[in-house]
Structure 1
Amino acid sequence: MRAGPLPFTLDPLPGETFETWLHTYAARLGVPTLRLIQDLNLPDPHGELHRGRWRRPDPTDHTIAALGAATGLTDEAVRGMFDAEGHVPQHTAFTAWAPRLASRFCPPCLADGHWSPNWRLRLQFFCHNHDVLLADRCPSCGQPPPAPPIRPDLWPGSVSPLKGLSVTGTSCGCGHDLAATDPPCSSDPDTAARAQRFIDDLLTGIRGTDRKPAARQDALDALSDLSLIAAHIAADLAGKTGKQQVVVTAPMLRADTLIPAVTILDHHDATTDPLIDLVAALAPSRLTHKAVPHTWATGSPALRTRIAYGRSESMTAIDQLRHAITLPAPMLLPHRTADRVDPAIGRAARLPDHMWLNWAIRLGQATARRAATFSSAALVALLLPHSDLRLKPQIVTLVNPAIGAATVAHHMARLLDLPTGTTALRILTELAFAIDDHDIPIDYARRRRLVAGNELIDDDAWNSIASSRIISPRIGRGQLTANARRYLYELLTGGNLYIAPPPHRVIPDDARRDQYRTFVAFMTIDIRDALHAHARRVLDGAGITGEPLTWEPPTTWVTTTDWPGTDPDQTDPAAIHDAILEARLPLQRVTADLGLSLEHLRAVLRQHPLPRPASPIPVQRSIRPADSNTTSMTTTSPAAKTFHVDPDWFREQYVTWWRSLPDIAEEIGCSSFTLRAFAHAHDIPIRTKTDANSNIDRDATSGRHPSQFPQPLRDALRGTSTRLRLERFVTLAYQPSINQAAQALGCNPGNLHDQLTTLEHAVGSLLMRRHAGARPVGPLTPLGQDLRRQAQEHLGISPILPTT
């Protein structure tokens, strides 16, 4: 700390931040800001002072007291500047705006014997008295002339007492008469004058004593945006745009950059926004997809929101959610500051690990190819609006590391592809902001801690519930107890069983998953009530008495009344109950008859359980050979036990078309075990587990017969997870490298290379040309071009753009 107090005290304005006051103080003292920082002995916590950069230190009691002693301010005044909520530009921008020891000059003004202190500011480039641009350098020596250390009239000082300072000499240090210099040419003096007046208004507004803090913050934001646009223009002129973060520096602020920058910033016409053209022209090709390229990340909320909305057509679903551009009216992006708590962190701490059941169905879960992962992907999507965190690994880790970033991107991209896609993304965005603004009556994080390691219900408690309420259970009592525990886990935590901790977790396409679904679907209302009462006792025993057992956000939290999916709340459960209890139809038959999805049906049965146990549906156990002219025939009665199937037809479907036993059995209406016995009886060899991995993936075909797909797509559909493999191949075909494709997909480059190899093995030849090096890929081969085209035409696969 320098010895003694500073010469005078500069009182901060109401709501003024420490950085703005500090740079103003330095200018009023006539010293560089870095010199003042050193004199005040301010800490440099990030070690950036020697690089011309600096960020405020923590406001410790020692720092507050030392600043007050040196500046004459009270501790309350100093602490108020640290507590001010205003956003400040980078230190380099303040340095660029500060008065210089050198000066621009107006030759006609010098000839009249006048010199303006404002010429010391880099933001001054035009003389209103003579309608000419200011000269930068002496034409003889090429150096800017020195200037008297008089404070400018504009920010950052108060009004100078020496306005209209007279000068007696107009010679440069080299002896050249500056008054005889020709002013720089201006093709449009009117535009230059308007730009200078625009900047002057901002400069006076930053510390205008007659303005409110919000108005001064707006002026500071606008000046920061103006400088950033000018810096991009200057960097482009120097051929350096996109190579690194664009930082505002003093040499960038000149007439040829500031005048077009004002035109761009102050654009209000309905015509094409010139800012969007500038962003697109200056962004590197690998960043053209990004809503707000990283070189514009320091812009104000208004500038970044304007860029995001202007580039919405080329944005991914992830970026549309992140920048909230699906809302009817723009919502300003928040300031990006180091001490800002990201909204994704706050939301994740208050939410379950997947979307509430009815909300998932309203959003279109029934249309998702992988409905099991849709709800978790939708929950992750709720964390995206206005978040600066990366989707992978930061945001997904906030929910559960088991959720794949590529899965989230896949589901959001598929939602956007639907006719109602924009509505779905708008609902997610509105719901996210509504969660920020409303209380959630359940502490999901506390409940997850409660159930960790908790058995939830023991055998005796479950047996007392089930003994008089379950008729002829199809599975053992032990498995029923395990399912009751899973139900209680879902009930208490709102959690997803696919990513739940053991022993509650179930695996997709596993027998335990199907058993649990059956358990919940056929649960009677008295069992449901008994389990809910047990769950209430678990909460009460843990001292959680003020929360409802279950909860979902009300639909009034969003503006839509036309949901992308169906609404379980609008479904009458009576027709479902009659179909199960009276007609004794299986669930698949009920969905077909009522036009519902299985997810929708199960949601209704959760809310409205069966009033009494359902009688078991007789199992169809036998298949008899049909006439040779018959492909397949089933009876319509749910109690039928006999099916007639042509062995030659079955052989063709299984052997020639590589359909799986479950796929064929579903078409016939029998079980896979019955169909397997029929195959043995007719000497049709059953594929081993290894060979079964070459079956046509019925999930990828959406129920279509393999004969409807051309080659090589048909071969590519053999195996498991074939659609995911094809989606990644199509994305890879549109990316310049395997690493960039992996980044877009949120997966490992090695895994992507392995999947490409697997796909090439399936089709029997290379799909992409290879170059020397570690896993590089080149252009598509003719076979690869055919496969890419067929995947897009027949499966509707589109490339997934990079996520952020």
Structure 2
Amino acid sequence: MSGAAVRVGVGTRFLYEGDVAEVVEMLSTAAGNQVLLKDAAGRRFARVSVRELLTSDRARVIPDGPGPSADDPVDPASVVLAELIDPERQHVLERTAHVREVLTGYRAGAAELAQDGEPRREYAPNQPLYDRYAAKAASPSFWTDGTPASPALHGALLKRIGPRLNPAIQLRYGTATPTPCRPRCGHRETRAASIPSLFWRGWTLRLNPGGLFDPLPYRQALSVLLHIAGLGDLDYAAARSLLGLPPVSNAVCPYFTKKLRQAGAWEPVVAVLSQLARTLDDHPAPIDYGRRRRWRRLCAATLHGTAWRAACTQIRYRSSERQERFARLHLIELLTGSHPCHFPPPLTLSPSFDGEDYTTFVFARPAQLSAHLHQQAQTLLRHLRIDEPVTWEPPFDWVGTRRFSEPGKESPGTALPSEHELRTHIDDGLRPGQIARLSGCSRQRIGKLMASSGIGPPAPREVLRTLDPTWLREQYEDNHRSFADIAADLGIPPSDLARHARKLGLAIRHGVAAHKHILADHGGPAAFSTTVWAVFASRGAEQRIKRFLAIPGHPDLNHAAKHLGVRTARPPAPGPPTRARCRRRTPGHCAPPWRHQADSRR
């Protein structure tokens, strides 16, 4: 808050001579404006001039909102600006105009006050915010000595505007890292050579909060995001192409970023990917994944079938032609870092027919066969004179990773909200689950804290323990109230009340009878005749009665039906009423009047 002004009038509270006082009346006298004060008990005890209240050490204003106070260690902005001389004030106005131009495109802050030539092309409102920021940071006119911003200042400004940028820009500039910086260009092929098509499995487990995503598509997305991190000349489609992944819709990346934001994991994932990308640029991976994806001797490697069958026989493992095909596909996956679903024909694995069986083969095969496939891959690399390990993952100590808490569980060291904060959340209409997500605690702890503090509704178990069974039976069976209506009065969920009623042996109503009776709030069955109570208990009774009461005043039933927006039924066939026809009428022979034609004078 930049202003130091405070409203003084009826209702303003002061700390006067150590007591809380409130202004109840303002008086205008020859000596100046005066106020009449009352204490907390409502007694009028002092008549003080306004000047003394505002300048004397005996009085102090109690603000009703956030803002500067008289005992603050620093002066508010309005006081500092008022003390500036003309050259200093002009310098502040010039700097403010630069900031407004970045945010709005206009130095005055609005299109209605646009100057000649505004908005300039680099600061047009349709330009991305980071482009406008970069143009202003590189402009010599922004700096008093004509020197552009230093990298440290760039990083500090990027840290401040990072939350306002879209996810792709946050990833390019690394706004979630301790040192954001401008993206690099010309390193797309070099970066792609250090990244496999499928993100490293160990890192995927650390960056998949609570198993939120399916591993296969999530590993692909993480590889693409790692490729984009810190690079300014690469988009999502080009990154997939360089990583050997098939083209897909650009909406795939926003899908993952949206789910990560909802899980509260976007910032940690961006921080890890940005730091990992910078470390890979300084220390490239010992495996050239780009070469392995290009060389046919590797991306279409052949399994040594005789050696594979001999290894299976040695450990008495029953192999088949299909499993031998899976072994070849996994050998290629070890060498290239790609999944068989993306291999070129005829090696392509069908996810619908073979995907689940292939996954079972990979994770359930004996350790001896895993070592055998690893040995075959190492032998093939040696024959091609490639001095690289078969597989590799970046060490976990390269970047400071964060372990995500499981859904519904709180992280260690999470501070519980205070009783005042809990009451504020309840007054704002928040439910315990929303308070738990807001504070980072589990719902169970929030529930226990509310119960111990006497905040919110009581626990259903305590309410049901003290509930009188006779009263419940009377309300449900005799007065025909629904469980939802009774539970609303008790402040507990209807499902808990229904479960308790079954334990008590109450006859549970089903269908239309399970709903609350229309006349239940007007005295119950004892206040009405049996016929009236039965008529209002049938399906659609309330609607029929309302229509019946709306008929008087119309010339005939056709006119009434047209006015009510309903149709009239066909008139009954001539002849004496039969027993079946009478049986179809509602109890008490109160059939709806639009079911038959009648004289409008009746």
What's the TM-score bracket when you normalise by the shorter of the two chains?
0.3 to 0.5
Higher relative contact order (CA 8 A, sep 6+): 1
Q: Normalising to structure 2: TM-score of the pair?
A: 0.44
The two structures have a TM-score, normalised by structure 1, of 0.34
